[in-house]
Structure 1
Amino acid sequence: MKRAPTESVQAAAGRRRREASTAEILAATRRLLSAGDPMASLTVERILAEAGVSRATFYACFPDKHAVVGRLAQESLAWREEVSSEGLADPTVTREQLETLMRAVVGHWRANRPVLAAIVELAEHDPAMRAAWRSAVEEIASQTASHLRVRWTDSADAPSDIDGVATALTWMFERCAHQLAVDDAGAETVSLALTEILWRTVTWRAPRRAR
């Protein structure tokens, strides 16, 4: 039986250098975005200066600045796995639990706002980023729809189009977080507003007809 080829010492060292350089480039780009640099003025030259790497090193790790932001997008969008919305499926969920969930989701957005804002900006004119962002948001919408479907199982009050409701709620969150959660006060307002909307959505019951 043939053994799988092992990585040479030289190749392993090269891989580690690329990984370290990649991490430096990502960290430098995140710092620049966090300092308020708009995506339009974020050049490879500025990233090189901030990261302290050579142009050759940069291009060995990334083809362009868009790829750097794309990688940051993947990391920043990990919140969809870290923050669960399973509470939406729980028929005993309380308003306080939904409020905690919304504060966690909006808080994560606030913590990653510089990168997420750059993603949204880039998605407006970059088809690849737009597709990636839409795919990520639609994945969250699909997850939300699954939870709502469980919650409304055998309910006569369930919406006829649960997928549509989940999609609208998810994109509403994306727009509210992006446009309104620009500071702590805005984040709190958005958290409480989304809690109210979700609570009224999942607890709504059709009025009984008078006999």
Structure 2
Amino acid sequence: MPDSSQARAGARRRAGTRRDLLDATVRLLDAGASHATLSIADISREAAVSRATFYGHFRDRTELIVALAEDQIAWLTVAGRPAPPLADPEAARPLSREAVRGSVATLVAGWQERRPVLSSIIEVAEHDAAIRRLWVGGIHEVAEVACQVFVGHWRSGGGEAPDDALVVSEALTWMIERSCHQMLSGRTEPEQVVDALTEIVCRVVGVD
């Protein structure tokens, strides 16, 4: 039986190899590969491991994309989280246009940086139920946090939040997701996307 230090070293090596495979996939996607054309041989070669090693960590490409999706959802939920005072669900705090723009700009910049990977995840989610559930769940989590902020803003004016506050928040969150996915891969400059999304959110939520 290996001692605990050997077991920990083995676990670190395994985690490192798994990370190497994920990072290799990201590099290939960044270089222009698509999920449809990306092969296990390509990924293994880029990560400098054997195909057998790949299968020791992932059953297939889809399972690897699930792991990538979990990474990206972790980023998305952190990026969509406002500063602590705004995130307090009991707080009644007005939103400023500057705060809205800052949150939108963070999401757009992060999306631009991760665009090839996110595009691949969205492509696979169209026909893979497990990845779709992950992605939809991540978007919903961001929308729930946004809803807390919007409710605080509405209450700060002495009013009540609308009954469909979460639906409004989720619609705005999906709008940002779709806009980033479609517009950042075209001719629209990221700054223009930030300006447009900031304007729409501010108009819907009632931020001066």
CA contact (8 A) 1:110 1:183 kept: no
1:1-211 to structure 2, matched below 5 A, reads 7-77=3-73, 78-85=75-82, 87=86, 91-153=93-155, 155-156=158-159, 158-182=161-185, 185-203=188-206
Question: Structure 1 residues 7, 145: closer, same or farther in 2, change over 3 A?
Answer: farther
Structure 1 unmatched ranges of 5 or more: 1-5, 206-211
CA contact (8 A) 2:80 2:142 kept: no
Q: Deviations over 1:73-103 (max 9, x none)?
A: 2222223214423558774432223222211
Cα offset, 1:12, TM superposition: 3.0
Cα offset, 1:197, TM superposition: 1.0
What is the alpha-carbon distance in structure 2 between the residues aligned to residue 133 and residue 197 of structure 1?
A: 23
**Letter paired with 1:96:** E
Q: Deviations over 1:93-145 (max 9, x none)?
A: 32223222211110011111111101100000111111111111111111111
CA contact (8 A) 1:44 1:65 kept: yes
CA contact (8 A) 2:94 2:153 kept: no
Secondary structure at the counterpart of residue 103 of structure 1:
helix
CA contact (8 A) 2:96 2:207 kept: no
Aligned residues: 201
What is the alpha-carbon distance in structure 2 between the residues aligned to residue 90 and residue 43 of structure 1?
A: 51
TM-score normalised to structure 2 length = 0.86
Larger RCO (CA within 8 A; separation ≥ 6): 2
Question: Structure 1 residues 189, 141: closer, same or farther in 2, change over 3 A?
Answer: same
Structure 2 unmatched ranges of 5 or more: none
CA contact (8 A) 2:29 2:117 kept: yes
Question: Structure 1 residues 156, 9: closer, same or farther in 2, change over 3 A?
Answer: closer
Q: Deviations over 1:11-63 (max 9, x none)?
A: 33322221221121111100011111111111111111111101121111111
**Letter paired with 1:133:** W
**Letter paired with 1:13:** A
What is the alpha-carbon distance in structure 2 between the residues aligned to residue 200 and residue 47 of structure 1?
A: 45
Identity rate, percent: 38
What is the alpha-carbon distance in structure 2 between the residues aligned to residue 150 and residue 97 of structure 1?
A: 14
TM-score normalised to structure 1 length = 0.84
CA contact (8 A) 1:33 1:114 kept: yes
Deviates more, 1:110-119 or 1:138-147: 138-147
CA contact (8 A) 1:18 1:60 kept: no
What is the alpha-carbon distance in structure 2 between the residues aligned to residue 90 and residue 111 of structure 1?
A: 34
What is the alpha-carbon distance in structure 1 between the residues aligned to residue 9 and residue 3 of structure 2?
A: 10
Deviates more, 1:169-178 or 1:7-16: 7-16
Question: Structure 1 residues 43, 92: closer, same or farther in 2, change over 3 A?
Answer: same
RMSD, aligned α-carbons: 2.5
Secondary structure at the counterpart of residue 159 of structure 1:
coil
Cα offset, 1:198, TM superposition: 1.4
